[in-house]
Structure 1
Amino acid sequence: MLQTQNLSVAYGKQTIIQDLSLNIPRGKITALVGPNGCGKSTLLKTLVRINKPSSGEVLFEGKAISSYQDKSLARSLSLLPQILVSPEGITVRKLVEYGRSPYLSHWGRLNQEDKKIVEQAMLDTGVAEFADKPVESLSGGQRQRAWIAMVMAQDTDIVMLDEPTTYLDMSHQVELMNLMRQMNDNGKTVVVVLHDLNQACRYCDHLIVLAQGALVTQGSPEEVFTESLLNDVFDLKAKVFSDPVSGTPMCVAV
């Protein structure tokens, strides 16, 4: 569905991703994990064509991603970036409506189906009650849900989230991870950058582990989450146990 072939990406003279070949599995939640600066966010931006490869390519449905028209690609792939800046005074409803942009006609007007999708996205994320409030008036967790609603309104097959739990307290992190699972249950393929390894194991089906811009390993949490991996990749001495709630692997530093 979405794959890279010998992908390299550089910022100026600094190579961030080097000769990376991997497949994003369809219909699953995939977590990109790895030390700071390993290229996780750079990879996400390259997958949606924000970054241009220095060599290699990204393929979507077997075709080079560079061959797709902007609107066509935006109907298939969506990205919620790490840094979110909304125009001053914009309401939640208007923000969520932006998610329908790839589907609008030349006149840029929402039809009844568009409006229905926007309303449903706000209901699913619990922000419908704030629809007419400015985004900047909301709490951090509410704002994050509003942005998630915008991505849900875009209604793409693949949804990418770059560190969506950053700056959220534990309760809102769990809320957001459950929203991510809900999107997957509704048929979306989800790719997410996470720093919390235990969260990645609990909520994600597939892990892609990166280090210094290269693929270390990938597979299910049960296959790849080991004490030796934590030591070698994260320089973390830890014990791996079974999560008493989910049964998935979890680590405790020693």
Structure 2
Amino acid sequence: MLCTKQLSVAYGDNTIIRDLSLTIPEGKITALIGPNGCGKSTLLKTLARINKPVSGDVYFDNQPLHQYPDKQLAQRISLLPQMLVSPEGITVRKLVEYGRSPYVSHWGKLSYKDKDIVDQVMEETGVLAMADKQVESLSGGQRQRAWIAMVMAQDADIVMMDEPTTYLDLSHQVDLMHLMRRMNDKGKTVVVVLHDLNQACRYCDYLVVLNDGQLVVQGEPETVFTASLLKEVFSFDAHVVKDPVANSPMCIAL
């Protein structure tokens, strides 16, 4: 179980997250939503131990996150960040193989099991055919899928993704949402920052709504996603109706 207790995070003198306490549901897909600048990415990076809290703490299985050895934590939590910079000249296969780093010996040699996992996730994400291409030569969408394959190869218990649909066309966005669901079906807890509210409601089990660095509400989409919430948090006038296909709530702008 991953949770925060009275968590505050700042960049210099600018406090981004204020006194935030929440629990990420185990075995669910949780979307972090809220207006630009509300602290979604900051919270995600803090949950992955990229950011250091000013006060409060993050706990994983009732142990403070900062107490975990790096390699052990990398086997439990993986993160696909928003800004992705690949080493110059690296191939897609080599990038995905980096996801197995928490499991390899000091010699850094991949086992047959590691190589099988790499091939499997490259197949699932549609990048196997470009395995020998350099990452920098790919389109934005192809590059994003290669990074997602690397995160999947890490095979962590909790998978975190910060705006993973960036650079993806609509078809590949839907593919990613289905891929996220398949990861969840295999027992992974998924935490994702999304800007598309209807995607969040359709594909996620749980919503954490932030505004100005504080928790507004958390819960299942059917419970918390309302027209009044959209007005309060996003200053957005909308009807909330049922998605005719997924039966989940969806908003229609007025």
- Do they superpose with TM above 0.5? yes
The match for 1:236 is: 236
After superposition, the CA RMSD in angstroms is 0.8
Alignment of 1:93-104 (within 5 A): 93-104=93-104
C-alpha separation in 2, matches of 1:178 and 1:136: 26
Indicate whether 1:195 and 2:204 are aligned. Answer: no
CA contact (8 A) 2:34 2:234 kept: yes
CA distance in 2, matches of 1:178, 1:25: 19
State yes or no: 1:140 paired with 2:140. yes
The separation in 2 between residues aligned to 1:139 and 1:15, in whole angstroms, is: 36
| Corresponding residue for residue 21 of structure 2 | 21
SS at match of 1:107: coil
Counterpart in the other structure of 2:182: 182
Task: Indicate the SS of the match to 2:172.
Answer: helix
Tell me the equivalent position of 2:86.
86
Amino acid at match of 2:114: D
Q: Does 1:10 align with 2:10?
A: yes
Using the alignment, how far apart are the partners of 2:140 and 2:203 within structure 1? 22
Shift of 1:83: 0.8
| One-letter amino acid matched to 1:59 | Y
Aligned to 1:226: 226
- Which residue matches 1:166? 166
Q: Give the whole-Å Cα distance in 2 for the aligned partners of 1:80 and 1:54.
A: 23
Matched positions, count = 254
C-alpha separation in 2, matches of 1:123 and 1:173: 17
CA distance in 1 between partners of 2:6 and 2:222 (Å): 27
- Please state how far the C-alpha of 1:172 moved relative to its aligned partner: 1.6
Give the structure 1 partner of residue 130 of structure 2.
130
What is the CA-CA distance between 1:141 and the residue it aligns to?
Answer: 2.1
**Helix, strand or coil at the partner of 2:222:** helix
1:55-100 CA deviation, whole Å, 9 max, x = no partner? 0000000100011000000000000001111112211100000001
Q: Does 1:43 align with 2:34?
A: no
Shift of 1:116: 1.1
- Corresponding residue SS for 2:192: strand
Moved over 3 A (4+): none
Secondary structure, aligned partner of 1:241 = strand
Further displaced range: 229-238 or 174-183: 174-183
CA–CA separation in structure 2 for the residues paired with 1:13 and 1:141: 36
Deviation of 1:167 after TM superposition, in Å, equals: 2.5
Residue 242 of structure 1: CA displacement?
0.4
Pairwise CA distance, 1:117: 1.0
CA distance in 1 between partners of 2:237 and 2:246 (Å):
23
Q: Matched residues in 2 for 1:231 and 1:186: separation?
A: 36
Q: CA deviation at 1:139?
A: 2.3
TM-score, normalised via structure 2 length: 0.98
CA displacement at 1:111 relative to structure 2: 1.2
Letter in 2 for 1:237: D
Q: Which residue of 2 aligns with 1:119?
A: 119
In structure 2, distance between residues paired with 1:3 and 1:106: 32
Structure 2: gaps of 5 or more residues: none
Which one-letter code corresponds to 1:28 in the other structure?
A: K
Q: Secondary structure at the match of 1:75?
A: helix
* Secondary structure in 1 matching 2:165: coil
Report the equivalent of 1:72.
72
C-alpha deviations, 1:113-151, integer Å up to 9, x for none? 111111111111121111111112222222211111101
**Identity in percent:** 73
Per-residue deviation, 1:245: 1.0
Cα deviation code 1:170-222 (max 9, x no counterpart): 11211111111111111110000000000000000000000011100000000
Rounded to whole Å, the distance in 2 between the matches of 1:155 and 1:172 is 22
Distance 1:167 1:92 in 2: 17
